[in-house]
């Protein structure tokens, strides 16, 4: 039982890492389903558009979804039109940018995973590049194979191109290899940027490591407590108002913190 | 046990997101069943109508169902004929429009999912477009293939058109690619609009984030309490009235809030 | 039950070893999945780049991930820009280097496992070396076989090269043997370095073995106690602040250790 609690504690501590992992895992699963069930390269001049749409639009959708589902976005935006000073005060611009960057980093996990996995899988890139009308690129990939140039966009479809099976496979393997190399480069650069970024932010933090941990824990506790107290307060207020309605009595008004106080703690 | 409660709390917090997800999931399932079991393209001049009906009418049905099953619709409409001032009072029009927009957004989840999934699947669009009598479109898709022009509406049915199998597949793949590109565009634009819309509404809210959360919680509590108290009140009233009937005694009349009070809190 | 506790105690004592083992195991599994599902040698002039990318880039990614997930990295870096003296004080440089080495050792487990397992498996090395344009190397591996020289980069793909099946297998077996010998060398040298390194550090430690164990146990205990106390302190602070907000009362401020004290214990 104690060990179980320890594991739960560990899970709670590594929440961010774990949630990133889960998001990435779901994205990998989704990509696999899409590329095997929905995706079928048209093998025509549409190739480039079709491949790019499957490579990039889902990641755009995931990015927007990431912004939409992050409560920090709304904590930042709620009421900011009524109260522009909240954002544009000199000492707040820095904080706003910091929160925006945080939100963006969280929102970027899923789309980058999608692109990386799609590149490692290779089929979207294959379809897109066979519709890419760049003579130099086609010459380099075709490598002198006859009929490759005019049938280039028919390569991803089995049994359509007039090339020999082995020539076709050569070209496809070359394109897929490019895709996978690009995928690994993307993953490596994401990791490098993530490491550098975390280093710089942590390095510039005005507090030391344990104090940082303490404040994280404090914020977590404050959030939880605030929520439970707010719920209780709301319950009491509702109970009172409804009793007034049914019993037609006048009750002493309960005090609720005013708007200014709310803004200050938000 | 504590962890279980935490999960339940999380589910309750993310209610809207989860319910949207469930509606979308059911729609995806429904679309899959319909397109595989019920849908069979007629391969005649009926194609366009048939495809459009399967693409659009179910989404219309889902939209109407969305309005029908949303309790907010009835909260808004009940008694508004008797009491037109309720809607057309100057300071109320804005609120009415706001509630209408909220209801529409909720009702649009299912129909938009239907259209998006149907476009990604491609079979409805394929059937509709092969019946689409636009010469320029047919020329572009046929791309100079012989017999394609006159047999265009027979393409979706296997073994009916006089085209060679590979030519037929080319054309169908092109149409399906269009359908899927349109589907992704639709999904991306829905997400973009949703994000922009939520941003603007949240931004213009007069209260800050935590206060907003507090009022949401208050409204939830009030609703629950009101329901339980109303049920109790109704029970007492019924008990009293029936006792009066059987025992033919006169009991002190129980007070119920009058119509005006009811209207005010609705 | 007693036996179970004994096992748990053993697990706790050997934590480092076990976590190293788990990381290595996961890496082995990942390598197996990648080399069987994703990896397909292009059999062209791309071979060398492709093979090297699969051999080295994942290990680079794992190394960066190792740094990123190690809390010691952040304990060292947090706030070090604000407070350069923390690192560059004379008596601290030695400690900083020591911690950096510790972090690096931990971070190196996964990447070295990847490289070692990939070399033992052999397919990445095989692909890379058949694209390695070194005449002397090709002559030595081909060993006078006809057509081997010009078809060298087509060897990893079955049925592509014009060599006889037995000649092809000879060459591939030779390359794979090199790969596996290299893999064993790598593993042996890692072990040797690890042993030597631990010997030297332990040997130079100013305390004896039992004292060392005692200090390890003390640090572990201190960490745990500190965490639980910090959490409690954070909880009390949060409770107080929120009560002030809702009840609009002024409370006596609770004392929290100041920045300097935090830095000192970090």
Nearest to C40 among A176, A184, A255 (CB): A176
Residue A203 to residue C80, Cβ atoms within 8 A: yes
Give Cβ neighbours of residue B73 (< 8 Å, ≥ 6 apart): B67, B103
Q: Which residues in C lie closer than 8 A to residue A21 (C-beta atoms)? A: none
Dist CA C136 CA C139 (whole Å): 5
Mean pLDDT by 10 residues, chain C (266 residues): 71 72 84 85 86 92 88 75 60 77 87 92 90 84 78 79 82 92 94 90 79 82 83 79 66 58 60
What torsion, rounded to 10 degrees, do the Cα atoms C78, C82, C87, C92 define?
A: -100
Q: What is the DSSP letter of B89?
A: S
Q: What is the pLDDT of residue B188?
A: 93
8 Å CB contact between A242 and B225: yes
Q: What is the pLDDT of residue A54?
A: 92
Q: Is A197 on the interface with C (CB under 8 A)?
A: no
* Per-residue pLDDT tens over the stretch B35-58: 888 888 888 888 899 999 999 999
Contact partners of B by the rule of 3+ C-beta pairs under 8 A? A
8 Å CB contact between C42 and A143: no
Q: How far is CA C9 from the centre of its chain?
A: 26
Give the pLDDT band of residue B85 (cuts 50, 70, 90): low
pLDDT reading at A5 higher than 80: no
Structure tokens at A226: 């605030």
8 Å CB contact between B166 and B95: no
Contact partners of C by the rule of 3+ C-beta pairs under 8 A? A
pLDDT reading at A156 higher than 70: yes
Dist CA B72 CA B99 (whole Å): 8
For A14, other C-beta atoms within 10 Å of its C-beta total: 14
Give Cβ neighbours of residue C121 (< 8 Å, ≥ 6 apart): C31, C32, C35, C179
**Where would I find the H helices in chain A?**
2-13, 15-33, 47-69, 71-77, 85-88, 90-121, 123-129, 135-142, 165-203, 209-247, 259-265
* Per-residue pLDDT tens over the stretch A234-260: 777 777 777 776 665 554 555 555 555
Got the DSSP string for A222-239? HHHHHHHHHHHHHHHHHH
Dist CA A111 CA A65 (whole Å): 10
Q: What is the pLDDT of residue A60?
A: 93
Dist CA A158 CA C226 (whole Å): 64
Contact partners of A by the rule of 3+ C-beta pairs under 8 A? B, C
8 Å CB contact between C114 and C58: yes
Give Cβ neighbours of residue B45 (< 8 Å, ≥ 6 apart): B131, B153
Which span out of A87-91, A103-107, A186-190, C149-153 was modeled with the highest average pLDDT?
Answer: A186-190
Kind and range of the H or E element at B199? helix B165-203
Q: Which residues in A lie closer than 8 A to residue C243 (C-beta atoms)? A: 229
Q: Name the closest residue on chain A to residue B210, using Cα atoms.
A: A266
For B170, other C-beta atoms within 10 Å of its C-beta total: 23
B47-69 vs B15-33: helix axis angle to the nearest 10? 150
Dist CA B121 CA B125 (whole Å): 9
Comparing A103-112, B9-18, C146-155, C223-232, the range with the smallest average pLDDT is B9-18
Residue A64 to residue B205, Cβ atoms within 8 A: no
Radius of gyration of chain C (CA): 27
Nearest to C50 among A3, A181, A218 (CB): A181
Dist CA A12 CA A10 (whole Å): 5
Q: What is the pLDDT of residue A57?
A: 93
Nearest to A78 among B166, B185, B208 (CB): B208
Q: Is A181 on the interface with C (CB under 8 A)?
A: yes
CA count, 13 A, side-chain hemisphere, C61: 17
Dist CA C1 CA C9 (whole Å): 12
Q: Is A191 on the interface with C (CB under 8 A)?
A: yes
* Closest approach of A246 to chain C, Cα-based (Å): 27
Dist CA B129 CA B179 (whole Å): 10
**Burial degree of B201 (CB within 10 A; 0-12, 13-18, 19+):** middle
pLDDT reading at B195 higher than 80: yes
Got the DSSP string for B139-189? HHHHTT-TTTTTTGGGTTSTTTSSS-HHHHHHHHHHHHHHHHHHHHHHHHH
What torsion, rounded to 10 degrees, do the Cα atoms B245, B247, B252, B255 define?
A: -30
Dist CA C18 CA A138 (whole Å): 51
For A202, other C-beta atoms within 10 Å of its C-beta total: 19
CA count, 13 A, side-chain hemisphere, C72: 15
Dist CA A72 CA C266 (whole Å): 29
SS3 A88: helix
* Per-residue pLDDT tens over the stretch B133-171: 888 888 888 877 777 777 788 888 877 777 787 788 888
What is the number of residues in chain A?
A: 266
* Per-residue pLDDT tens over the stretch A159-193: 777 778 788 888 888 899 999 999 999 999 999 99
8 Å CB contact between C106 and C63: no
Q: Which A positions 234-263 lie with beta carbon below 8 A of chain C?
A: 255, 257, 261
Q: What is the pLDDT of residue C13?
A: 66
| ipTM of this complex | 0.77
**Angle, CA C151 vertex, CA C149 and CA C156 arms, to 5°:** 115
8 Å CB contact between A132 and A117: no
Q: Which residues in A lie closer than 8 A to residue C53 (C-beta atoms)? A: 180-181, 184-185
Q: What is the pLDDT of residue C5?
A: 74
Query: Could you tell me which of C213, C219, C55 has the C-alpha nearest to residue C205?
Result: C213
Q: Is A69 on the interface with C (CB under 8 A)?
A: no
Dist CA B161 CA B153 (whole Å): 9
Dist CA C4 CA C107 (whole Å): 31
Phi, psi of B147 (to 5 degrees): 70, -5
Considering chain B, what percentage of its residues have pLDDT values greater than 70?
A: 81
**Burial degree of B258 (CB within 10 A; 0-12, 13-18, 19+):** exposed
Average pLDDT over residues A137-144: 82
Dist CA C217 CA C228 (whole Å): 17
Which span out of A81-85, B65-69, C182-186 was modeled with the highest average pLDDT?
Answer: C182-186
Got the DSSP string for C116-141? HHHHHH-HHHHHHHTT---HHHHHHH
Dist CA A56 CA A50 (whole Å): 10
Nearest to A75 among B187, B209, B214 (CB): B209
Q: What is the mean pLDDT of chain A?
A: 79
Average pLDDT over residues B117-133: 88
Q: Which C positions 25-54 lie with beta carbon below 8 A of chain A?
A: 38, 40-44, 46, 49-50, 53-54
Structure tokens at C243: 């009560």
Dist CA C182 CA C118 (whole Å): 10
Q: In a mutagenesis test of the A interface, which of B209, B222, B259 is the best target, namely the one with the most A β-carbons within 10 Å?
A: B209
Q: Which residues in C lie closer than 8 A to residue A209 (C-beta atoms)? A: 74-76, 78-79, 266
Q: What is the pLDDT of residue B86?
A: 55
Dist CA A35 CA A39 (whole Å): 5
8 Å CB contact between A177 and C51: no
Q: What is the pLDDT of residue B227?
A: 83
């Amino acid at each position: 039982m104690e060990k179980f609690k320890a594991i739960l504690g560990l899970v709670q501590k590594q929440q961010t890492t774990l949630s990133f992992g889960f998001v990435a895992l779901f994205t990998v699963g989704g990509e696999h389903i899409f590329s095997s069930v929905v995706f079928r390269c048209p093998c025509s001049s549409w190739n480039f558009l079709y491949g790019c749409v499957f490579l990039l639009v889902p990641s755009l959708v995931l990015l927007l979804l990431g912004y939409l589902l992050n409560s920090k976005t709304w904590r930042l935006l709620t009421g900011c039109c009524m109260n522009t000073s909240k954002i544009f005060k000199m000492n707040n611009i820095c904080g706003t940018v910091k929160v925006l960057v945080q939100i963006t980093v969280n929102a970027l996990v899923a789309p980058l995973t999608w692109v990386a996995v799609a590149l490692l899988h290779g089929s979207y890139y294959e379809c897109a590049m066979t519709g890419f009308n760049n003579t130099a690129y086609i010459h380099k990939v075709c490598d002198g194979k006859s009929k490759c140039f005019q049938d280039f966009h028919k390569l991803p479809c089995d049994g359509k191109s007039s090339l020999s099976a082995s020539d076709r496979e050569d070209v496809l393997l070359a394109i897929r290899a490019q895709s996978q190399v690009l995928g690994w480069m993307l993953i490596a650069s994401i990791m490098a940027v993530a490491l550098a970024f975390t280093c710089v932010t942590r390095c510039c933090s005005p507090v030391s490591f344990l104090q940082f941990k303490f404040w994280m824990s404090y914020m977590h506790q404050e959030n939880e407590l605030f929520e439970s107290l707010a719920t209780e307060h709301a319950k009491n207020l509702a109970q009172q108002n409804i009793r007034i309605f049914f019993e037609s009595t006048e009750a002493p008004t309960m005090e609720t913190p005013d708007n200014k106080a709310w803004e200050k703690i938000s």
